[in-house]
Structure 1
Amino acid sequence: MLLAAGGGRRLGGRPKALLTLRGRLFVDAAAEALRAAGCAPVHVVLGAGAAEVRARARLTGCEVVENADWETGMGSSLRAGLATLPGTAGAALVALVDQPRVGAAAMRRVAAAFTGPHVLAAAAYGGERGHPVLIGSAHFGGVRAAARGDAGARGYLRGREVTLVECGDVGAPDDVDEPGDLIDLPS
């Protein structure tokens, strides 16, 4: 699942899904990384600029979900995305569109931590928990109930056993939140 609804307030109001790196939209690169990691179907949660993202992005084969409440924060996008998963889904690998240096290799490693519906796992970078996060289906209801504001699943995960999967050698968790963050990305 790709959370791609952010409006980029600190980026001058440019929807994060429409940012580009090496000529590719962030949303296209992240959705492709999830597919390359073995995730299917890929659910993409849109919000800010959803009509433009649909028009410009190449999301063929993705389940596109529009979050009308995207302005309330990542929690609403997580709830919207989880609500669209089929009852047969064993887990959801949740990635963020504004982390272009988290690629398929990190996603694949975290997805490989799947052991069943009770799994909770997350990428770690130098021992610090980051994204993507693998949420087993036994936790979907609890995560939906707890996800508020920009904290996403953080409150739900606090105090629970989360398997950390080191990914610092294959990715970096750098968020793109401000214009200077774009300058620091490798070209």
Structure 2
Amino acid sequence: MSLTGLLLAAGAGSRLGTPKALVHDAAGSWLTRAAETLRDGGCDDVTVVLGAAADEALTLLDGLGVDVVIASDWADGMSASLRAGLRALPAEAEAAVVLLVDLPDVTAEVVRRVVAAGAGPDALTRATFDGRPGHPVLLGRGHWAGVTATAAGDRGARDYLAGSDVLLVECGDLATGDDVDAFRVE
């Protein structure tokens, strides 16, 4: 099976005070760490969706061997990035593991657990953290059209997932899955 990692990193990070793709903490760049998390988690390829500060973010990805997509309509919300990313994935990809850049404690082990629970063109698998749905989300190719058709604003695939039979995979023992865009990390 061909599995592609899809990293959404286009947001302006208005609450953070800097574009999400440029944020770093003591462990380094969130952008490079998330791309490596997807690859180390079992993804054959990684596609990164950029938007805000794309030119600066591109320099952080030099040498990582990832594909980059620029979502020109990134300001419309996460749904625009998700649609742009799914449309750009390789034809041979049977499934995509979607990860958000602002989840710095999600590790390759979380990705591996989600992938191991079910992958393939019909898979729909989602990490949970102490019962709370989160990311990564594994979307089999059979779901991409539905996801792109229903994605709106900052809701991404939320509405599609809510109306679907999703396999939930508990990962709270591995990470918090907390979205860190509500405060600035130095």
- In structure 2, relative to structure 1, the CA distance for the partners of 1:22 and 1:159 (3 Å cut) is same
Helix, strand or coil at the partner of 2:117: coil
Q: 1:75-90 maps to which residues of 2 (within 5 A)?
A: 75-90=79-94
Q: 1:20-169 maps to which residues of 2 (within 5 A)?
A: 20-58=24-62, 60-169=64-173
**C-alpha separation between the residues in 2 aligned to 1:74 and 1:59?**
26
Q: What is the letter of the counterpart of residue 38 of structure 1?
A: G
Helix, strand or coil at the partner of 2:15: helix
Q: What is the letter of the counterpart of residue 99 of structure 1?
A: L
**C-alpha separation between the residues in 2 aligned to 1:48 and 1:29?**
18
Unpaired runs of at least 5, structure 2: 1-5
Quick check: 1:75–1:152 contact (8 Å CA) kept in 2? yes
Per the TM alignment, residue 114 of structure 1 is displaced from its structure 2 partner at its CA by: 2.8
Per the TM alignment, residue 103 of structure 1 is displaced from its structure 2 partner at its CA by: 1.2
Q: What is the letter of the counterpart of residue 116 of structure 2?
A: A
Percent of aligned positions with the same letter in both sequences?
A: 51
Per the TM alignment, residue 57 of structure 1 is displaced from its structure 2 partner at its CA by: 3.4
- Deviation sequence 1:70-103 (CA, Å, 0-9, x none): 1100000000000011222111000000000111
Quick check: 1:31–1:59 contact (8 Å CA) kept in 2? no
Quick check: 1:25–1:57 contact (8 Å CA) kept in 2? no
State the TM-score, normalized to the length of structure 1: 0.92
The answer on 1:9 being equivalent to 2:14 is: yes
Quick check: 1:123–1:129 contact (8 Å CA) kept in 2? yes
Unpaired runs of at least 5, structure 1: none
